[in-house]
Amino acid sequence: MAGIDFSDPKGSASYLVQFMTQGRQSFLNMQMALFKTTADALTSLQSAMQSFESALNALVSGGNGVIQQTGTFSDPTIGTATVSGSAQPGTYQFFVEQLATANQQAFGGTNGMPSVDPNTAGSFSVSLGDGTTIDVDLSQADKDGDGQVSPAEIARAINQDPAASGKLNASVITVDGKQQLVITAANTGADSQITVDASNVNDPALKAALGDGKVLVAAQDAVIWLGDKTTGTRITQASNTFTGIDGVSMKFTRAMADGESPATLTIASDADATADALQKFVDAYNSLKDTLNTLTFSGDPANGKAAGPLYGDSGMTALVNKINELMRQPAGGTSLLAIGISADKEGRLSLDRDKLAKAIDKDPNALNQLFGDAKTGFVGAMESYLDTWLDAGNGQLKSRQDTVEKQQKQTNKNLSALAALQESMYQKYVKQFTAVQALQAQMANTMSILDSLDTASSKK
């Protein structure tokens, strides 16, 4: 057999093993490449479908519809407004008499906060107007073990109490070389009032320091008038964020002076923001469409282009057809085409902003009815179908990916078994060919001896 050279047992053994197993090796390699291509295609499809689903969810997030609203104050220094789709267009007037603030106090005064002996200092408490109380045991506050509780360790003891989390925080600042303990409430409003009880402190200097709190910021509620001051409706609350108007959240940032005119908040539809939201949906769909086209491409042999990895897959054909059907399906008495979203001959979408603006002006509710939410309208129908593919438990993608994974594992086992067989065959042939090599060498030696004897005989 060509390729067998007994003078090279290892090379000959390798050649023979390859010759005998190359068919099986090629088949398994081809299988593994096919399964990997399929797995990569399913991953690509999953990513594109999830991105499209996310775009659908973003379009109707919060259940407030597709129409975007904007809220603008006549005086932007008064505050800002965040408006959802459920807000009704209109104008509202506000007079901000007083902003809510969080209490902040400094302790130590001109003498500063002293360091104290943890064994004799005692304890104190910090309370808030809402009933929160933090007890500080100074005997446990010496964390560095130097025999003194420093102002920083007092602040740390306050902050590390679980009751302080989200309620207040303490820090140390240095003023004119003297350390002061600053305690700040985390939340605004009258209930943020800080009270320190130092009656159980035994160290005179610390007791004096904690008993001499200086108010840096007072604890107060916000006072807001819906309408003009004194003639409108007075609203008192702990926060500077007002959510009394459905779908609107306002954050006031400046108190107004007596005599100022109320600030006007105008809520109106934002055509540009609505178009931007729909453009993101269009872009996500086009990305999904491009992925589907690539995966199901029929091929172009004349130009050297291979078919897509999922070409001819009946499930993919059903997926493409169903998505196309849902995209054309009207809801709420209108359709995507009617609001300015159309498809070209390749199936990619484009948005006509002028047509969309006219559709919104004509009937803004029609747009929300068309898209619906995660359970109704176009979005609900599309979400429901996408879930049959994307469900992590029993969706079609999960089922297909599990099948491909099993096929890959089995092929890997087959490749490992073939590799073991090849090694066994190799060792066997190396041994046999080495024996043949030795036999050939012995025969050559014998022939050499016989030749020598024959030569010697002929000379006599």
Per-residue CA distances from 129 to 103, 126, 167, 357, 447 (Å): 10, 10, 11, 52, 114
Query: In angstroms, how far is CA 62 from the centroid of its own chain?
Result: 18
199, 209 in Cβ contact below 8 A? no
The SS3 assignment for 181 reads: strand
pLDDT in tens, the chain (460 residues): 555 766 788 888 888 888 899 999 999 999 999 999 999 999 999 999 999 999 988 888 766 678 888 899 999 999 999 987 678 889 999 999 999 999 999 999 888 999 999 999 999 999 999 999 999 999 999 999 999 999 999 999 999 999 999 999 999 999 888 999 999 999 999 999 999 999 999 999 999 999 989 999 999 999 999 999 989 999 999 999 999 998 899 999 999 999 999 999 999 888 888 899 899 999 999 999 999 999 999 988 888 899 999 999 999 999 999 999 998 888 778 889 999 999 998 889 999 999 998 988 888 778 888 888 767 888 889 999 999 999 998 899 999 999 999 999 999 999 999 999 999 998 998 888 888 877 877 887 787 777 776 676 666 5
Q: Where are the alpha helices (DSSP H) in 244-363?
A: 271-295, 314-328, 353-362
The DSSP secondary structure of 354-421, one letter per residue, reads HHHHHHHHH-HHHHHHHH--SSSHHHHHHHHHHHHHH-TTT-HHHHHHHHHHHHHHHHHHHHHHHHHH
Residue among 373, 265, 390 nearest 319 (CA): 390
The Cα–Cα gap between 187 and 185 comes to 6
Residue among 451, 452, 383, 425 nearest 25 (CA): 425
pTM value? 0.65
pLDDT of 146: 94
The SS3 assignment for 217 reads: strand
Q: Which helix (H) or strand (E) holds 26?
A: helix 9-59
pLDDT of 243: 94
Tokens describing residue 167: 């309620």
Phi, psi (rounded to 5 degrees) for 169: -145, 155
pLDDT of 5: 67
Phi, psi (rounded to 5 degrees) for 359: -65, -40
The Cα–Cα gap between 197 and 126 comes to 6
pLDDT of 444: 75
The Cα–Cα gap between 110 and 176 comes to 9
Tokens describing residue 87: 């807000």
User: Can you count the helices (H) and strands (E) in the chain?
Assistant: 9, 17
The Cα–Cα gap between 247 and 84 comes to 5
pLDDT of 334: 85
pLDDT of 267: 93
Nearest 5°: CA angle at 407, between 406 and 413? Answer: 90
Tokens describing residue 182: 């600053």
The Cα–Cα gap between 305 and 440 comes to 55
The Cα–Cα gap between 178 and 257 comes to 37
pLDDT of 369: 83
Contact residues for 241 (Cβ-Cβ < 8 A; gap 6+): 249, 250, 251, 252
The Cα–Cα gap between 460 and 457 comes to 6
72, 82 in Cβ contact below 8 A? no
pLDDT of 36: 93
